[in-house]
Structure 1
């Protein structure tokens, strides 16, 4: 006689469904983010729209500027309409924006598409992290968030294969049409994805929240009072009181250099590898290897930080990243270069994540969210600057200096987070950092 699944087992399966839906949404986010860098060598070689390296750098910055806008507004919009609706809106926005890129007949229209895509991309990731934090199986929150972050790099891998399979035989527009396909995923989210428990609790919809928590066998978020504008302003000022301004600026500068490095390399890796003499197919293979390294790095960095401390790991990781990025300016054998690209991917992405972990751990509970959010926001300016910088170097005929410039950004972040690591933190109280660890990446 067969027995029906226990409520706990059934709830865990439902929770994993939510995590799986969010993973797919972030996969599409990564695909759309990385597709521009994957097709960029082709766009430059064919002089599409009369594209020049400096103009290509501007276009790369449009998406990251859009991400800045999306990340800064996501919280406010989610508080009004709910996290589920915001996720669906973000997926719809960056999918339709890719359609604008696919049909564009000028740089201006293409740039508009990339900017709108960036807004959707910037709003999706922190919202998805909030969702999986609500519905992760009991005691599995940190692991689930780490798993979610692998989806972004899996999207980067997919973008390289889309470019390899479609750009040469069909054309670059086909790659962007593929990025429209996630639009079909929006109705799936509408039907299957529940609303965020945190949102329901904040809105006073306690019965609905309790019902969902019981159904998915997850803990109901604690009720917390909504902060007024005065509260938020006081939390921001708290980052600069009592000499804390030094620590705050160190975190901001480290984040600026880190995201400059992350998005500069993400945009220009295939093109810079082409300038180093590698064939286009090999250059796109490096995108796959780089993102595989990113997946591994996300899974191992947290364990290393728990043992040795997040600021120390971040500083060491940035040093290793800078060394790896600089070595890419040296033409080596294919095997050695592939290994260097992989290791650079391992350290680069998780080095930035460890900055957020450091800020979260060293902040007081009342201003933790503000500290992490502003560190992320300042870093986003580096994300805008990185793609532009690569384009300017290539336009000036100094493409060989591209990897060197990005390596120097890694060195600067190593110095700033290293100095922060040597300073005595204001608080050493243990905290659950899993929601703040990667929310602003």
Structure 2
């Protein structure tokens, strides 16, 4: 009689409780979000100190997303080959150290390089953490767990806003990056707290990285690959094009630096209820049925923000953009990660995320060029409306609902 099942069973450690699973994994995402959102606030101060043009600001924002694109695709393949936990920790460590070093950047060139490294680690960590939580959760709660995990991203946005409001005006932007390096210490906690994903450990064989990528284009999977790639491109283009420029846009509209940061903080508060709403709806309505209305409302709110001419309406539409966009992001993660079989799940969401980062690379630079060319904010946000609408139509027409399905 074969002893393989017994050996395999011995290798699988008990799954942590839902609270510990989400909290320990989520704090990693919190630090990730804090880092990427800090750049939106820091660019305002860096541009003033180094006399950067709007186009250069856009390029600096885009450099981090180039790293994220590479990191997401590579980390997904590595996680399907060597495990979720190890890749989760290494990507977290890479971006944390690079963030701390950015505090000592002496010019634009080294800033570009370090932002690439930060993006590489950040891009790799996000899809791997999502895969880990999904595979470690019960079928009837996995959707809610993934969305609650992603909610930590909103907490990270709030931390970034608070740190920027308290630190940048008083002691400058460099100290902010030193604070962002704290997650490096958190890797030690992750090593002790998290067992490997039970689904990954139960695989009969480890597929090569090439096989994992090939699976994404196998019969029955190709449509999911194409739909998720388009979805992630649209979401990244719109979200990062808006969020990374939001403080600068308010500044360009005539608000002071302090007011621009404070107003953005207030708008960012709407991200948390956006996630909480999605966490409830994904198990009631479904993944696709939650994602589509959130995308449609995000597109309309973006259009409203672009044509708002008073502080009141900027607030209203800024809050709505943050609320619905984060609800849409929550739906995007759970919709994507359930589209792929276990043997290529991290690769599936990793490559969708990586391809989507191309949108995040293009959007900040394009917005900088448009602002530099004196193109109005109405036209800029109409562009975001159109991009979200494209993603909406593709998911609506070709996306597959996965509520109630067993993981493959």
Does 1 or 2 have the higher relative contact order (CA < 8 Å, sep 6+)?
2
Please say which of residues 128-137 and 37-46 is displaced more in the overlay: 128-137
Query: Partners of 2:187 and 2:400 in 1: how far apart?
Result: 44
Partner residue, 2:150: 149
Distance 1:138 1:239, change over 3 A: closer
Superimposed CA distance per residue, residues 357-409 of structure 1 (whole angstroms, 9 cap, x where no aligned partner): 556778899988776555444322112111111221233233x33x6324423
Distance 1:146 1:318, change over 3 A: closer
Quick check: 1:410 aligned with 2:391? no
- Once the two structures are TM-superposed, the CA of residue 112 in structure 1 deviates from its matched residue by 0.9
Quick check: 1:16 aligned with 2:15? no
Structure 2 stretches lacking a partner, 5+ long: 1-13
Where 2:195 maps in the other structure, the secondary structure is: coil
Distance 1:234 1:20, change over 3 A: closer
Query: Partners of 2:341 and 2:195 in 1: how far apart?
Result: 32
Partner residue, 1:215: none
Partner residue, 1:117: 118
Cα contact 1:312–1:418 (8 A) shared by 2: no
Structure 1 stretches lacking a partner, 5+ long: 1-10, 203-222, 436-441
Distance 1:251 1:182, change over 3 A: closer
Among 360, 364, 373, the residue aligned to 1:383: 360
- Once the two structures are TM-superposed, the CA of residue 258 in structure 1 deviates from its matched residue by 1.9
Cα contact 1:12–1:137 (8 A) shared by 2: no
Quick check: 1:259 aligned with 2:232? no
Cα contact 2:22–2:148 (8 A) shared by 1: no
Please say which of residues 20-29 and 289-298 is displaced more in the overlay: 289-298
Distance 1:239 1:296, change over 3 A: same
Cα contact 1:312–1:421 (8 A) shared by 2: no
Partner residue, 1:160: 161
Where 1:104 maps in the other structure, the secondary structure is: coil
Among 304, 315, 322, the residue aligned to 1:338: 315
- Once the two structures are TM-superposed, the CA of residue 272 in structure 1 deviates from its matched residue by 0.8
Superimposed CA distance per residue, residues 241-288 of structure 1 (whole angstroms, 9 cap, x where no aligned partner): 8xx6xx975654443222101111221111011112223233223433
Find the structure with the greater CA-based Rg: 1
Quick check: 1:233 aligned with 2:214? yes
Where in structure 2 are the equivalents of 1:286-301 lying within 5 Å? 286-301=263-278
Query: Partners of 2:385 and 2:346 in 1: how far apart?
Result: 25
- Once the two structures are TM-superposed, the CA of residue 122 in structure 1 deviates from its matched residue by 0.9
CA RMSD of aligned residues (A): 3.5
Superimposed CA distance per residue, residues 304-356 of structure 1 (whole angstroms, 9 cap, x where no aligned partner): 45666655654443332223223323455544432321211111133345456
Q: Give the number of aligned pairs.
A: 395
Among 26, 30, 35, the residue aligned to 1:32: 35
Cα contact 2:124–2:350 (8 A) shared by 1: no
Where 1:278 maps in the other structure, the secondary structure is: coil
Quick check: 1:178 aligned with 2:179? yes
- Once the two structures are TM-superposed, the CA of residue 74 in structure 1 deviates from its matched residue by 1.0
Query: Partners of 1:106 and 1:115 in 2: how far apart?
Result: 15
Partner residue, 1:431: 405
Cα contact 1:315–1:415 (8 A) shared by 2: no
- Once the two structures are TM-superposed, the CA of residue 37 in structure 1 deviates from its matched residue by 0.4
Cα contact 2:65–2:360 (8 A) shared by 1: yes
Partner residue, 1:132: 133
Distance 1:326 1:278, change over 3 A: farther
Cα contact 2:144–2:283 (8 A) shared by 1: no
Cα contact 2:96–2:118 (8 A) shared by 1: yes
Where in structure 2 are the equivalents of 1:359-398 lying within 5 Å? 374-398=351-375
Cα contact 1:250–1:417 (8 A) shared by 2: no
Cα contact 1:258–1:409 (8 A) shared by 2: no
Cα contact 1:132–1:145 (8 A) shared by 2: yes
